[in-house]
Amino acid sequence: MVTRSTIMDTNSFRAEHAAGLDKDTMRLTERRGHLLGASYRLFYRRPVHLVRGRGQYLWDAEGTKYLDVYNNVASIGHCHPAVVEAVHEQMQLLNTHTRYLHEGILDYSESILATTPAEVNRAMYMCTGSEANDLAIRVARAYSGGTGIIVTQEAYHGTSDLTSGASPALGSGQPLAPTTRLVPAPDHYRLNDVDLGDWFAQEIKKQIDGMQADGIRFAGFLADSIFSSDGVLPGDAGFLKKAVDVVHRNGGIFIADEVQPGFARTGEAFWGFARHGVVPDIITTGKPMGNGIPVSGLLARGEVLAAFSDSIPYFNTFGGNPVSMAAAQAVLKVIHEEGLQEHSRVVGARLLAELRTLQDKYECVGDVRGAGLFIGFELVTDRNSKAPDKALALQLIEMLRDERVLTSVAGPYGNILKLRPPLAFQAADIDWLVGALDRGLARLGR
Amino acid sequence: MVTRSTIMDTNSFRAEHAAGLDKDTMRLTERRGHLLGASYRLFYRRPVHLVRGRGQYLWDAEGTKYLDVYNNVASIGHCHPAVVEAVHEQMQLLNTHTRYLHEGILDYSESILATTPAEVNRAMYMCTGSEANDLAIRVARAYSGGTGIIVTQEAYHGTSDLTSGASPALGSGQPLAPTTRLVPAPDHYRLNDVDLGDWFAQEIKKQIDGMQADGIRFAGFLADSIFSSDGVLPGDAGFLKKAVDVVHRNGGIFIADEVQPGFARTGEAFWGFARHGVVPDIITTGKPMGNGIPVSGLLARGEVLAAFSDSIPYFNTFGGNPVSMAAAQAVLKVIHEEGLQEHSRVVGARLLAELRTLQDKYECVGDVRGAGLFIGFELVTDRNSKAPDKALALQLIEMLRDERVLTSVAGPYGNILKLRPPLAFQAADIDWLVGALDRGLARLGR
């Protein structure tokens, strides 16, 4: 088993690391140090003070414009007017909870359930992806009668106590729950001599058997189908099917964590799992659902959810309120009207092709892979050994920042650039990103 | 030990209970049944279809006006223009996360920390009260090295796995965590022959000793200082001090869950705990903080928080984002500019006095108590035995609904009306509420 390592925030720093900064940055980082808990980290050695956003662009306090290649919360574009207006309109009318009747939650539920397989036919709403995954694990347990949860080696599923215990990406400071078992990620860059589907299904079976030998009954497999924290690993469409079959044959449920790949991101489909022709028992959502308004959801097969809902009360005060539903409905409408799924597929493919020209040019670019506008750009010290080059990735991230391109890293070694721009990213933006990468690699790479 | 019972949603129903309703209500409840998880419950046998809110008033789809005497989320008033405008302005500018520098989170942190005791000097932000309490318990554990958490008999602290396990109010369907211990609530209506402070401190000490006998190290005491779910029990100012002292002497921390009493609600102070002259180690916030925008906070003594922050990564994607901070800042500004704390004290006292005239008039009104605009109105079958009259409370709630007054119940027996209007509630609204109660009691009560 690979040693657990911290991939969260590999290029983030505490305020006290700030030094040699301009006055404004210094003042703000010092204030953070005095006011906020030490958990707060900043991206970059030279943090960015943002004040404005629009589409795929962000501006700092001095008016400098940045290309956002990282933030999937503002998924349809920063400050999209359709969401701004929908929220403004609803906020002036009413914003209360789900113990009163309201059309908004019903209209949205119809809209979102129209995008899922027919079996997934019930919706619940929370405020964060963490809350959705926390509830999903509890539902999995209530339905299966087991407690054991399988996740991948570097998975990240949330900040609550329960989801942190199923998030090895948080590193050794955060113990895993005794009921959590890890499978290696389907790293198709390194596992090129195996049938990925068979191999992954076998790894899951091993962990199911292992937990059963330890007296832990299997509850479910929780995964983001693009394995974002593991380093952005889309794999061939369909490879996940055998793994999901093994999960079902062994009495567990499959929870598709769509916080990262969902909402048209992967281009081929609205949901990430759809590329694999599988039907999840539960779908969890989060970040991109409200384009910045805190709203998340749990969509499930009615009979799976019933095992929980029939016995355990659950009420989320803000979840599904009229304002969050208005924001979420506006996001869906924009995805449809602006054709963002097809846009993500087309522009993502062009970006991927351009990034592959850098792979041809620089030995240190080991692999470039992706689905839609979700791309992993992997840096290695050597193409034969495929040894991760974390130092280069970090230098490159800082250099991109100087070229006003914002992104970050992923993977167990922090050597993979995670390129995940708002879907407002245009073909015309490719040159800025690829040019900056080219210049950075020319200076730092091989 | 009192038997655990479900107080959550005593007057709420599943969609399938709907019968004999008008067409619109029928249609919406049926849609809910088909689309939402069965956890969703509605208030009232004849649910209310709300479409508009302003201040302390709500309107249904037919234009009927209701007096809201229950919702503390829209704490400064439904659709308060100051919050609507602050959110609208910020949504047009920028809404991203805390890994970039932004003034909003720092300005708000200064504002909110100016309201806390000096020792409480660090802030963190989440989206829901559940997330704040989930983190608070984890911080308590990291700091104390223990795991045992004490809460009151009918406490409710959240919907996450961890907080549900410390929420006996959820009833027998939701098992308590093995590390949770319960103390009886400081029910001063029934405990009138004891020194409440001594008695409560002793009850806590008993549970600390009990958990230690079971090999569980004490981590902390988590309580809402007005004991809302236990039936709204403000007690005399200061009675909580001895309990907090016992907690500290035994190596635990005191977490003040201010989701209910905070933000000027109790009138005498900005925070509920302040009535008792105690300094919490952690303050958690939620519902009223953003007047409906999902934002919550954890405010803590720096050294307590450090035990967690130094080792365990925590990042909440939406927490502390510029829009939620703008909403929260607007709420603070309105509380100050409109003098809502003093308003709550004055109008709350007048309401309390008026409600006590009903106590003089009807034998079944056993007790009326409160702090500011947070009042418990307790119904009993008999003043000598003080036996709870749940049936009467439920009938009264339904009758109030027919008189267009919205409220609900609390307490282990669901026999206490929880009167907790938006702080926009005016002295002129008292007649509507008290008149409706009077008519209801004349018909149903004794």
Across the interface, whether the CB atoms of A314 and B52 are under 8 A apart is answered no
Q: Is B253 helix (H, G, I), strand (E, B) or coil?
A: strand
Alpha helical stretches, state H, A60-170: 81-93, 103-113, 129-144, 161-164
A-chain residues near B78 (CB < 8 A): 94-96
Give the chain A residue nearest B35 (alpha carbons). Answer: A122
Across the interface, whether the CB atoms of A84 and B88 are under 8 A apart is answered yes
Domains along the sequence of chain B with CATH: 12-76+339-444 (3.90.1150.10), 81-337 (3.40.640.10)
Across the interface, whether the CB atoms of B94 and A52 are under 8 A apart is answered yes
Please report the residues numbered 315 through 344 in chain A whose beta carbons come closer than 8 angstroms to any beta carbon of chain B: 315-318, 321, 323-324
pLDDT band at A16; cut points 50, 70, 90: low
Across the interface, whether the CB atoms of A131 and B94 are under 8 A apart is answered no
What pLDDT is recorded for position A310?
86
A235 at interface of B, judged by CB pairs closer than 8 A: no
What pLDDT is recorded for position A20?
74
What pLDDT is recorded for position A445?
73
Choose, out of A96, A107, A112, the residue to mutate when testing the contact with B (most B CBs < 10 Å): A96
Query: Could you count the other beta carbons within 10 Å of the beta carbon of residue A151?
Result: 30
What pLDDT is recorded for position B102?
98
Smallest Cα distance from A128 to chain B, Å: 7
Is 60 exceeded by the pLDDT of residue B129?
yes
Q: Give bridge partners of residue A124 from the DSSP assignment.
A: A298
A-chain residues near B28 (CB < 8 A): 101, 103, 106
Q: pLDDT (tens digit, 9 = 90+) per residue, A256-281? A: 999 999 999 999 999 999 999 999 99
Smallest Cα distance from A143 to chain B, Å: 14
Nearest CA among A276, A1, A279, A299 for reference residue A152: A1
A419 at interface of B, judged by CB pairs closer than 8 A: no
Is 50 exceeded by the pLDDT of residue B6?
no
Choose the closest CB to B122 out of A37, A105, A287.
A37
Choose the closest CB to B101 out of A49, A124, A294.
A49
Choose, out of B65, B67, B99, B331, the residue to mutate when testing the contact with A (most A CBs < 10 Å): B99
Q: Is A285 helix (H, G, I), strand (E, B) or coil?
A: coil
Nearest CA among A329, A402, A340, A327 for reference residue A373: A340
B74 at interface of A, judged by CB pairs closer than 8 A: yes
Q: pLDDT (tens digit, 9 = 90+) per residue, B345-368? A: 999 999 999 999 999 999 999 999
What pLDDT is recorded for position A7?
42
What pLDDT is recorded for position B3?
38
Please report the residues numbered 265 through 304 in chain B whose beta carbons come closer than 8 angstroms to any beta carbon of chain A: 286-287, 292-295, 298, 300
What pLDDT is recorded for position B16?
52
Across the interface, whether the CB atoms of A127 and B318 are under 8 A apart is answered yes
**For residue A115, what are the CA distances in angstroms to A121, A332, B352?**
10, 10, 52
Across the interface, whether the CB atoms of A97 and B313 are under 8 A apart is answered no
Element (H or E) spanning B120, and its range? strand B120-126
Is 60 exceeded by the pLDDT of residue A5?
no
**In this structure, are residues A400 and A394 in contact, taking their beta carbons and an 8 Å threshold?**
no
B-chain residues near A106 (CB < 8 A): 28, 31-32, 35-36
Choose the closest CB to B106 out of A28, A41, A293.
A28
- Mean of per-residue pLDDT scores for chain B: 95
B63 at interface of A, judged by CB pairs closer than 8 A: no
Percentage of the residues of chain A whose pLDDT score is greater than 70: 96
Smallest Cα distance from A191 to chain B, Å: 30
Smallest Cα distance from B232 to chain A, Å: 19
Give the chain B residue nearest A11 (alpha carbons). Answer: B99
B31 at interface of A, judged by CB pairs closer than 8 A: yes
What pLDDT is recorded for position B18?
53
Q: Is B49 helix (H, G, I), strand (E, B) or coil?
A: strand
Which has more confidence, A9 or B111?
B111
Across the interface, whether the CB atoms of A313 and B170 are under 8 A apart is answered yes
Is 50 exceeded by the pLDDT of residue B190?
yes
What pLDDT is recorded for position A249?
98
> CB under 8 Å to B424, separation ≥6 — which residues?
B55, B56, B76, B77, B78, B80
A-chain residues near B123 (CB < 8 A): 35-37
* Count of CA atoms in the C-beta half-sphere (13 A) of A207: 26
B-chain residues near A110 (CB < 8 A): 35
What is the rounded average pLDDT of the residues B99-112? 98
Scored b (16 or more CB within 10 A) or e, B314-323 reads bbbbbbbbbb
pLDDT band at A330; cut points 50, 70, 90: very high
In terms of residues, how long is chain A?
A: 446
- Mean of per-residue pLDDT scores for chain A: 95
> CB under 8 Å to B401, separation ≥6 — which residues?
B43, B44, B46, B48
User: Residue B74 and residue B33: Cα distance in Å, rounded?
Assistant: 27
Q: pLDDT (tens digit, 9 = 90+) per residue, A235-260? A: 999 999 999 999 999 999 999 999 99
Choose the closest CB to B162 out of A32, A162, A300.
A162
What pLDDT is recorded for position A19?
61
Q: Is B167 helix (H, G, I), strand (E, B) or coil?
A: coil
A-chain residues near B317 (CB < 8 A): 73, 128-129, 286-287
Element (H or E) spanning B245, and its range? helix B241-249
Choose the closest CB to A51 out of B29, B94, B128.
B94
A-chain residues near B156 (CB < 8 A): none
Please report the residues numbered 90 through 129 in chain A whose beta carbons come closer than 8 angstroms to any beta carbon of chain B: 91-103, 105-106, 109-110, 113, 122-124, 126-129
How many residue pairs from chains A and B have C-beta atoms closer than 8 A? 313
Choose the closest CB to B94 out of A40, A53, A313.
A53
Across the interface, whether the CB atoms of B48 and A101 are under 8 A apart is answered yes
User: Residue B323 and residue A100: Cα distance in Å, rounded?
Assistant: 26
Q: Give bridge partners of residue B12 from the DSSP assignment.
A: B43
B-chain residues near A105 (CB < 8 A): 36
pLDDT band at B53; cut points 50, 70, 90: very high
Is 60 exceeded by the pLDDT of residue A379?
yes
A384 at interface of B, judged by CB pairs closer than 8 A: no
What pLDDT is recorded for position A21?
86
ipTM here: 0.96
Choose the closest CB to A159 out of B92, B293, B314.
B314
What is the rounded average pLDDT of the residues A420-427? 98
Nearest CA among A90, A13, A100, A140 for reference residue A325: A90
> CB under 8 Å to B372, separation ≥6 — which residues?
B264, B265, B266, B267, B268, B341, B344, B345, B348
Choose the closest CB to B100 out of A47, A78, A130.
A47
A8 at interface of B, judged by CB pairs closer than 8 A: yes
Q: Give bridge partners of residue A54 from the DSSP assignment.
A: A57
**In this structure, are residues A413 and A378 in contact, taking their beta carbons and an 8 Å threshold?**
no
Q: Is A67 helix (H, G, I), strand (E, B) or coil?
A: strand
B394 at interface of A, judged by CB pairs closer than 8 A: no
Choose the closest CB to A124 out of B36, B52, B53.
B36
Smallest Cα distance from A353 to chain B, Å: 29
Nearest CA among B366, B347, B253, B264 for reference residue B306: B253
